[in-house]
Amino acid sequence: MTPPSARVPPPALVEPPVLAGGSAIHEALALTGRPDVISFAGGLPATELIDADNLRAAYDRVLSESPGRALQYAGSDGDPGLRAAIAARLSRQGLPTRPDDLLITTGAQQALALLATTLLRPGDVVAVEDPTYLAALQCFAYTGARVVPVPSDDGGIVVEALERVVATARPKLLYLVPTFRNPTGQTMAGSRRREVARLAAEHGFRIVEDDPYGELRFRGAPVPWIAAQPEAADRTALLGSLSKTIAPGLRLGWLRAPGTLRRACLLAKQALDLHSSTVDQAAAARYLADHDLDAHLVSVRAAYRERCATLLAALPRVLPAGSTWSRPDGGMFVWARLPAGHDTGALLRDAVAKGVAYLPGAPFHAGPADPGTMRLSFAAHRPEVIEEGVGRLADVLAGTG
């Protein structure tokens, strides 16, 4: 055996990309599992609203009726029944879609990674609304792309600001979560969606429209997808997910993209994981065929409406004078901004000591961060638990304003 002194050390790991406040998020999310902490931090759907009995029945059926197919390798583009069910759902909702327009992915997160792999090279520019989904920023950072923040407000990305970024930075890609955005809960107005589609056509950039929350609308009328705007139809990839509507543990999402882009993502997926879990896809397809997801979502939306209202009603009693917050029409998140002088990252340790957690807003920013921002998820807790958690937050914030 080679003596330890003669051993050559193995090569170093590739340096992971550095993200603002990246480790703060890991620390905060680790706390979501502590039973003594009421966590508003994670983007977890309510566990008790997951339709576990009917999912178990769907798994039972596929494993007893077609175990060979459910447990075997399969094609990379995904279970035909599942693609057909999702295509029919999108078509019913106003976006004509064929099963072959879809690629089933291991969560919408994998769809993002596939798009980043197929579209981005070091130095390419990605424009994002600021703040935006943290794990998308991580995904883009791994490619070496340069992420350029675009200011956004209650109505979504500010089109004039996007025009300036397009003229100066020439982005290859614009990443958006137009409906109930993570982290702010805000929704992009229909007029802005049309403007963004027009800009993409005029300037030749692609759009990634990430929509895991759109089905969780508890107020108001749906706003048409950017993918449904004729100008941008040939350059928009729409991402969806079963995580927030059925269960995140399925790890199933999809990508709807024009032919050449979809095929490029399919090849990348073959290299990455061959295909998403056959049995999970088959069970999800069975579940969608045997059960009325819309009926199930009626109760999920009602619960989230009540939870959101509970949180919003409590915030004026809790947050320091001068604070502002979003008023989402759906999804899972409220975004609050405390007045100048507050630092939600620094307050988190005290909050956890008092049994409550949230996510500081800084890591969601691709540009300069406002240290007074925080993301609160209302989805996972019943109203009485939200009241208790907000009471604990009041103790943390008392005397800081």
For CA atoms 244, 247, 248, 251, the dihedral sign is negative
Residue 248: CB minimum distance to ligand PLP, A = 5
Give Cα separations from 265 to 116, 118, 165, 274, 366 (angstroms): 9, 6, 27, 12, 25
212 interacts with ligand PLP by CB under 6 A: yes
Work out which of 117, 187, 243, 281 binds ligand PLP, going by CB under 6 A: 243
Q: Which residue has the tokens 């702010």?
A: 184
107 interacts with ligand PLP by CB under 6 A: yes
180 interacts with ligand PLP by CB under 6 A: no
Pair 304, 378: CB distance under 8 Å: yes
Q: 185: closest CA among 328, 378, 44?
A: 328
Residue 250: CB minimum distance to ligand PLP, A = 9
The one segment of 88-96, 107-115, 345-353, 381-389 that binds ligand PLP by CB under 6 A: 107-115
The one segment of 58-66, 79-87, 105-113, 368-376 that binds ligand PLP by CB under 6 A: 105-113
The one segment of 73-81, 102-110, 277-285, 334-342 that binds ligand PLP by CB under 6 A: 102-110
Nearer to ligand PLP, 74 or 113 (CB): 113
Residue 132: CB minimum distance to ligand PLP, A = 8
Q: Which residue is nearest to ligand PLP (CB)?
A: 107
182 interacts with ligand PLP by CB under 6 A: yes
324-325/359-360 β-pairing: unpaired
Q: 218: closest CA among 306, 139, 323, 289?
A: 306
Q: Which residues within the stretch 18-57 sit at the binding site for ligand PLP (CB under 6 A)?
A: 43
Nearer to ligand PLP, 248 or 372 (CB): 248
Work out which of 177, 227, 300, 338 binds ligand PLP, going by CB under 6 A: 177
Each residue 121-140 as x (binds ligand PLP by CB under 6 A) or -, in order, gives ------------x-------
171 interacts with ligand PLP by CB under 6 A: no
Each residue 247-266 as x (binds ligand PLP by CB under 6 A) or -, in order, gives -x----x-------------
Nearer to ligand PLP, 32 or 182 (CB): 182
Nearer to ligand PLP, 253 or 363 (CB): 253
Q: Which residues within the stretch 58-97 sit at the binding site for ligand PLP (CB under 6 A)?
A: none
Nearer to ligand PLP, 319 or 332 (CB): 332
Nearer to ligand PLP, 176 or 352 (CB): 176
Q: 151: closest CA among 164, 138, 140, 142?
A: 164
241 interacts with ligand PLP by CB under 6 A: yes
Query: Reduced to 3 states, what is the DSSP secondary structure of residue 333?
Result: strand
Whole-angstrom Cα distance, residue 58 to residue 124? 44
Work out which of 108, 207, 226, 268 binds ligand PLP, going by CB under 6 A: 108
Pair 20, 362: CB distance under 8 Å: yes
Q: What is the dihedral of CA 349, 374, 365, 144, to 10 degrees?
A: 50
Residue 63: CB minimum distance to ligand PLP, A = 24
Residues that bind ligand PLP (CB under 6 A): 43, 107-109, 133, 177, 182, 210, 212, 241, 243, 248, 253
